């Protein structure tokens, strides 16, 4: 399965007042998919990932200070990574929400400073990417690794199979 195109959408990604994190991330994936849906036979697949500490949505940090604050907040604690996927095909919307729990080990000031200096936090929900240096912060995880990276592969394959798109064997 190789996408024909990868297209960025321009939507307002700000959470609504008092919007619960699960509803927020589902809305983001849905709005992205519907913004691209053209009513044709094209399958449109979109995803959105957010990090949640308690009830607080940790989006993409604006700067290194905010990234450091996010890491301090998650240090030694459990947080959730929510990834929603939305598929629009032939006018029908299909959605899935994948939840993963992660606990970071306690982080030192040096851990946080070195990570922020690496710039890996840029453009990442919660201010970290599990596929890079932050993997060393993870004490345990329950859920989907690929969902934390940004696209839960098992759930995506199931959604695509529901419209007849399956992995081609060589």
| Distance separating alpha carbons of residues 27 and 147, to the nearest angstrom | 17
| Structure tokens given for 97 | 């929400």
Determine the distance from the C-alpha atom of residue 42 to the mean position of all C-alpha atoms in its chain, rounded to a whole number: 23
What span, in angstroms and rounded, lies between the C-alpha atoms of 141 and 136? 12
Q: Which residues are catalytic?
A: 48
User: Of all helices (H) and strands (E), which one includes residue 139?
Assistant: strand 138-142
Rounded Cα gap, residues 112 and 84, in angstroms = 28
As a dihedral over the C-alpha atoms of residue 86, residue 90, residue 91, residue 94, rounded to 10 degrees, the angle is: -30
The span from the CA of 98 to the CA of 77, in Å, is: 20
**Which one-letter DSSP state was computed for residue 107?**
P
């Amino acid at each position: 399965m190789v996408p024909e195109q990868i297209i960025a959408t321009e939507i307002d990604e700000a959470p609504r007042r008092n919007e619960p994190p699960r509803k927020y991330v589902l809305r983001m994936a849905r709005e992205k998919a519907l913004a691209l849906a053209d009513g044709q036979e094209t399958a449109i697949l979109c995803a959105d990932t957010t990090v949640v500490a308690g009830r607080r949505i940790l989006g993409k940090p604006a700067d290194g200070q905010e990234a450091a604050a996010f890491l301090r907040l998650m240090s030694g604690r459990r947080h959730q990574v929510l990834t929603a996927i939305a598929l629009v095909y032939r006018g029908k919307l299909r959605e899935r929400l994948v939840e993963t729990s992660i606990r970071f080990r306690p982080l030192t000031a040096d851990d946080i400073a070195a990570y922020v200096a690496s710039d890996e936090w840029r453009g990442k929900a919660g201010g970290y990417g599990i596929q890079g240096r932050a993997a060393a912060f993870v004490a345990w995880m329950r859920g989907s690794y690929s969902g934390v990276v940004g696209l839960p592969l098992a759930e995506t394959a199931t959604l695509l199979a529901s419209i007849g798109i399956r992995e081609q064997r060589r």
